[in-house]
Structure 1
Amino acid sequence: MGSIPLVDDIAAGWDYLGVVLKGNIKKDDIILMVSLDGTQLYASKQSDCWIYTWVVLNLAPDKRYKKIHVYLGGFIPGLNKPKNIDLFLFVGLHHLAALQHEGLRIWDSSKDCTFSLDLYLLFTTVDGPGLICWDGMVGHSSKNGCHVY
């Protein structure tokens, strides 16, 4: 017997599909996902570097996660996880907000003209430890861990 999708999952999917079906997201618009993750740079040294990347979701699944199509947003060096992740994410998200407001102008050399397209942020993804930094909640390992989310 298959699992029944949660109402929130269905609603979230229809939020996106509804906008596409209404024509608000056009064929040439870019759909993005931003992903944050921590990594240890050296096996023998204690370090904690955090990286965030942009993934273009318009590409087919077999292409979107290839190295050439995953774009570095930034990295956060240090010995410990960052205390305020917003300071590092601000530049990339501010740039995205500016492009969403102004539109992204692109030159099409085959037609000898420029056109404007829109960018949409569909997902933000992180692992468990990164989620604590991303949304500012206490996480599961605190003294009184979060039982709601």
Structure 2
Amino acid sequence: MRATVDFAPLFRSSVGFDRMLNAIDLASRIPTADNWPPYDIVKTGEDDYRIDMAVAGLAENDLAITQERNTLIVTGRKEPEQQSSTEYIHRGIAGREFERRFDLAEHMKVTDARFENGLLSIILKREIPEAMKPRRITITSSTARRGEDVPRIEAQKEAA
């Protein structure tokens, strides 16, 4: 049995975290039905990540990777085998179709994808735009501004 968590207090007391809170709420409601293919998510640096997926039984041509906004979609569709004289006694290597979705944080970008020995590796990097990076603000004191001509607001003088 899965315990449900009420996120309503977080929605009431936070500003600008809607996307993250909605993702957490959605993840807690959807049961994980399929866990194939198995995968690892590895943090390789401060802003660098890698997703490794074990896709034995599929070839490089059977895989597709798509990034739509903040969602990474990995699909695998094996071409149907043509009639052959091969007779399987046991078929344990999975070659079934799949679609695996990963929610990405803002400014995540796929930089590379490699397929080797049945392992698909997707390299991701967070590239924060220069305008959003922290910057130092200089503070000027009023003594430093004495030499400057400071604009003043003057009220109109009315004759009594």
TM-score using structure 1 length: 0.32
TM-score using structure 2 length: 0.31
Rg (Cα) greater in structure = 2
Please identify which structure carries the higher helix content. Answer: 1
